[in-house]
Amino acid sequence: MCILEASICKSNGMKAFQQLTGALMLCLFVVACAPSDKPTHWFKGNLHAHSYWSDGNEFPEVIMEWYKTNGYDFTVLSDHNTLAEGDKWITLSKQTYLQEGFENYVKAYGEDWVEQRMDTAGNIQVKLKTYDEYKGLFNAPGEFLIVPSEEITTGFEGKPVHINATNIQERIAPVSGQSIIDVIQQNLNQIHQQREALNRPIMAHLNHPNFYYSNGISDIIELNGLTFFEVYNGHPMVNNAGDSAHASTEQIWDQVNIAYSAVGKRLLYGLATDDSHQYHRSGKQYANAGRGWVMVAADSLAAGSLIKAMEEGDFYASTGVNLSRLSFRDNRLKVQVDSVAGTAYTINFIGHKKGEQSSATLASVQGVEATFEVTEDYSFVRAVVTSNKTNPNFFDELEFEKAWIQPVVYQK
């Protein structure tokens, strides 16, 4: 994480990241990383979503419109093993709610835009719009950005392996391997190879490690070149909290970083994502949009700037808690919540003390502001802010809104 200071300021012509609340936006200013002290802004984004191009149940344009009108600055469609290119026709389900969804799609975009036909059985078939076709409806400099993405989907002996490649330029076909570790590593390598070959910033992240409990701590520890994983995924089947026999994603995060720190690997950063699939019905049994996102401190709304900032740890993950101040300066990690009236907050600083076997809560503050001094006794320190507010959109009624701050290390 760079040395950053965040504060609330009035929007100066740039779209407010919170369209629902309007007048104010969070602006992050670089204190020491950039000699020019160029203003840096918070950008809200989702890095995992699906459409009719794979196993989602909505047209890409409708999904993009939802994110754009619900306060997001950037998003992706990370459909399985595809980049939304070429000709693809789908046969529309006869489910009433999907038929109604199609009617709304035609009303919104017009019959000249929507290509449809009838098959021999009388079913409606619809040609999906490609990324190159629909991006022009939404992308606007400084206002909204769709980043091309693919969820590279494979597995080993029944264990799924799903890796997202953000800002991918050419489709990557999944490859197999001799073990679960080998499969993950080979597909990670493919992403890095495309990045190097094309000289383009492309970001890889490991999805939902507890999906069928397929990607365990010991697997992830052995990987090379993994910088991001999903500490929170909004799909109801991914077991973020673990169970009596399996670690939670937060426990995975810390144990992996303990191992990475011991051998000098760069620390793993945690994302929150939607992994949205269902857009017509809401409930805890559905993978709905709007459950998890990242807030990135970047100098512009461009894929390269966003990825660079995230690789430097200049972001936090959230399911509803916003921050008004975040800094790591002079080895002091400071967190201040952009609080909501009537909501209580707990700020926990979590870290690993060198020589210990596991991480621990180092300090806990009830309130909206806290500071922790990071010393060389610690391999890393991160923070989690938890509110006492739940959300009807969550798939777990016992879940509370959170923000995860990325781990930092002592600077000599």
Say yes or no: 100 and 245 in one domain: no
Looking at residue 398, what is its pLDDT?
84
State whether residue 380 is helix, strand or coil.
Answer: strand
Question: Domain end: 127, 149, 175, which one?
Answer: 127
Question: Domain end: 106, 127, 148, which one?
Answer: 127
User: CA 316, CA 299: separation in Å to the nearest integer?
Assistant: 16
Residues 6+ apart with CB under 8 A from 372: 332, 333, 349, 362, 363, 381, 383
Say yes or no: 106 and 138 in one domain: no
Q: Structural domain tally of the chain?
A: 2
Range of the structural domain that residue 190 is part of: 4-88+128-408
CB-based contact 119:125 (threshold 8 Å): yes
Three-class secondary structure assignment of 383-406 = EEEEECCCCCCCCCCCCCCEEEEE
Say yes or no: 231 and 241 in one domain: yes
Say yes or no: 33 and 182 in one domain: yes
User: CA 386, CA 320: separation in Å to the nearest integer?
Assistant: 9
Say yes or no: 192 and 267 in one domain: yes
Say yes or no: 118 and 190 in one domain: no
Say yes or no: 147 and 183 in one domain: yes
Exposure string over 203-235, b if 16+ CB within 10 A, otherwise e = bbbbbbbbbeebbbbebbbebeebbbbbbbbbb
Q: Which residue has the tokens 């080998």?
A: 182
Looking at residue 4, what is its pLDDT?
52
Phi, psi of 51 (to 5 degrees): -135, -170
CATH number of the structural domain spanning residue 179: 3.20.20.140
Say yes or no: 68 and 165 in one domain: yes
Say yes or no: 322 and 228 in one domain: yes
Looking at residue 1, what is its pLDDT?
67
Q: Which residue has the tokens 């020491």?
A: 32
Mean pLDDT (10-residue bins), the chain, 412 residues: 46 37 36 43 98 98 98 98 98 98 98 97 97 98 98 98 98 97 98 98 98 98 98 98 98 98 98 98 97 98 98 98 96 98 98 97 98 98 97 91 98 94
**CA dist 383 → 27, 38, 247, 308 (Å):** 20, 26, 19, 22
Report the phi/psi class of residue 148: left, alpha or beta, with left for phi > 0 and alpha for psi in -120 to 50. Answer: beta
Say yes or no: 101 and 220 in one domain: no
- Residue 148 pairs with which residues in a beta bridge? 77
Say yes or no: 205 and 352 in one domain: yes
Question: Domain end: 127, 149, 181, which one?
Answer: 127
Looking at residue 6, what is its pLDDT?
46
Looking at residue 238, what is its pLDDT?
98
Looking at residue 40, what is its pLDDT?
78
Say yes or no: 153 and 240 in one domain: yes
